[in-house]
Chains A and B, each alone.
Chain A
């Protein structure tokens, strides 16, 4: 590769990852980690990597996939196209369904095969690592269970919510639920409510205590504690963030692991 080739290649990579051009050549002696993941869910409705071995910044995942090929084809990697150069896994999961549909244009066909290329790219240098090649048969349905969490997508649009930016994650396999929510408060009650569109399983209904910190317009960042109750009522689940300790500030961010128990 000539210097000019390197300049172009490196800066195209950086550009695709949203980084600006480099004018000085980065060191070419670098160690880029290998891609490792547990499985790829490949159905017409969902295309997702799971169990990705996480690599911190400045690494981002570059993924290329092909359209569905006949299951008898053994080498279809030349038919892969770029889905994205800046994929970050979300605790080992990366949902690329929308990226696939945008790049390929059609859903994968059950019974056929999709070819995959993936590698980590150091976005600071633009240098990519070893390409990992894979192929996956497309299935009609998947038994993959996405981790249990509540986000804004799970909120009931017909209900007035007093919590924004909610992300409550139950997948800790520990005696805590992880909270990340902004409590807006409602009426004159020192509490905020999130109404979900569907029920949570009964084993996830209970009580938690988590820390909060004020986000007052006057700069108030008072420390607080919140009791968080999740209950089913009329076939819907509500998650109630009830202020307990410290100054009640609206809004407040409730974050971090919260102990979990059931009455």
Chain B
């Protein structure tokens, strides 16, 4: 987490939650400013000066910019809050930029919702495949339904991507505050997430926006945050965010060098599931568990994202077992964990002559440096 140093558009100090890798960063922040401020009017591009980031430039990403517009009609407060996506980029290691949109010039106050991943190109490797988790909604009397085909998260150790789409809610709850549990949403995400939609009766060039909250796997959204027309057909209500998890870098056990990943992928079909690796430097011992179901000789090499720097490159031999129709096979595997720059690969090599890599492995052995 860090605070901004300054900005050129009259906003106060901006606090960022962050994940900073060597070639991309994820930033979360929410802040306000006034387009009537002289500094805002003078700025061509909104610039925020920050402590040095791990990347010195980025492609253009998106941040949600909104303003509040609540109006009373016949004793009801109608929500016409409006928004769109503004382009944002890392200009240099100390400067985050957001484009200035003239559509907001007359507003007294703007709210910026930064839940954004900033990446670079030509990084010496292609896109890394994530693992999708479908979100499913558990609510009282199933009052709330979400579009399961488009409600998902892709989870990493320190951050997650979240896309959610609303389907419908029961009439009984249409004017109530909502609370539901989203299965598969990481429970260490604590964030206010904008909910966007198509219909905005007062600002037809812009979308509508309301705020939901995610915490400990629960989704909440007050009735007052749901825009006028929320339940209209074809309102395509959605959320889109890269969210920083409340990850703790302190090892549970002092000196513990640990890595786990639900699934490593090498291409579309080859997977190494439930990887759990623990290495003790002295005396040198490594414990490794995981399973594969690859029916070919291999070897197979898996990129290992978010691999701890502290775990060195090593090689080791492990025993694994495969229970199949003809009985139980014990297999000797050689696993090599290699590092090139910030990238780590896990290569699995069959040393039994089995010509397949289908096994469950729970073994502890002595690693050697490579």
Q: Which residues of A contact B (CB under 8 A)?
A: 54, 56, 91-93, 147-149, 169-178, 180, 202-207, 209, 211-213, 216, 218-225, 227, 243-248, 255-257, 259-263
* Complex: A262 Cα to B267 Cα, angstroms: 9
| CB–CB A174/B23 < 8 A | yes
Contacting A174 at CB < 8 Å: which of B123, B131, B205?
A: B123
Contacting B61 at CB < 8 Å: which of A93, A209, A256?
A: A256
Contacting B205 at CB < 8 Å: which of A176, A203, A219, A243?
A: A219
Say yes or no: is B204 at the interface (Cβ < 8 Å to chain A).
Answer: yes
The residue on A at minimum CB distance from B161 is A259
| CB–CB B129/A218 < 8 A | no
| CB–CB A93/B92 < 8 A | no
Chain B interface size, as a band, is 35 or more
Residues of B within 8 A of A227 (CB): 150
Say yes or no: is B62 at the interface (Cβ < 8 Å to chain A).
Answer: yes
Residues of A within 8 A of B123 (CB): 171-174
The residue on A at minimum CB distance from B235 is A247
B122, B131, B205, B305 interface centre (most CB from chain A within 10 Å):
B122
Say yes or no: is B178 at the interface (Cβ < 8 Å to chain A).
Answer: no
* Complex: A263 Cα to B125 Cα, angstroms: 21
Known: A171-B122, A246-B238. A261 touches B130 (CB 8 A): yes
| CB–CB B267/A92 < 8 A | no
Say yes or no: is B292 at the interface (Cβ < 8 Å to chain A).
Answer: no
Contacting B85 at CB < 8 Å: which of A172, A211, A219?
A: A211
| CB–CB B237/A245 < 8 A | yes
| CB–CB A259/B91 < 8 A | no
Count, A-B residue pairs, CB within 8 A:
180
Q: How far is the CB of A260 from chain B (nearest CB, A)?
A: 5
Residues of B within 8 A of A255 (CB): 60-62, 87
Q: List, sorted by A's number, 23 A–B pairs whose CB atoms are closer than 8 Å.
A: A92-B122, A171-B125, A175-B128, A175-B154, A176-B127, A180-B60, A204-B126, A204-B127, A211-B240, A213-B84, A225-B240, A243-B236, A244-B238, A245-B240, A246-B238, A247-B199, A255-B62, A256-B59, A256-B87, A257-B119, A259-B161, A261-B131, A261-B132
| CB–CB B61/A259 < 8 A | no
Contacting A178 at CB < 8 Å: which of B59, B152, B240, B267?
A: B59
| CB–CB A209/B120 < 8 A | no
* Complex: A135 Cα to B337 Cα, angstroms: 38
Known: A171-B122, A209-B163, A247-B236. A220 touches B204 (CB 8 A): yes
Known: A222-B198, A244-B238, A257-B59. A93 touches B207 (CB 8 A): no
Report B218-248 CB contacts with A as 1/0, cut-off 8 Å: 0000000000000000001111101000000
A sample of 8 more A-B contacts (CB under 8 A), given A91-B121, A173-B124, A209-B152, is: A172-B119, A173-B343, A175-B130, A204-B127, A213-B85, A220-B205, A223-B62, A256-B59
Contacting A225 at CB < 8 Å: which of B116, B238, B343?
A: B238
Say yes or no: is B103 at the interface (Cβ < 8 Å to chain A).
Answer: yes
Known: A245-B236, A245-B240, A247-B198. A260 touches B127 (CB 8 A): yes
Known: A202-B267, A221-B103, A245-B236. A174 touches B165 (CB 8 A): no
| CB–CB B198/A211 < 8 A | no
| CB–CB B156/A175 < 8 A | yes
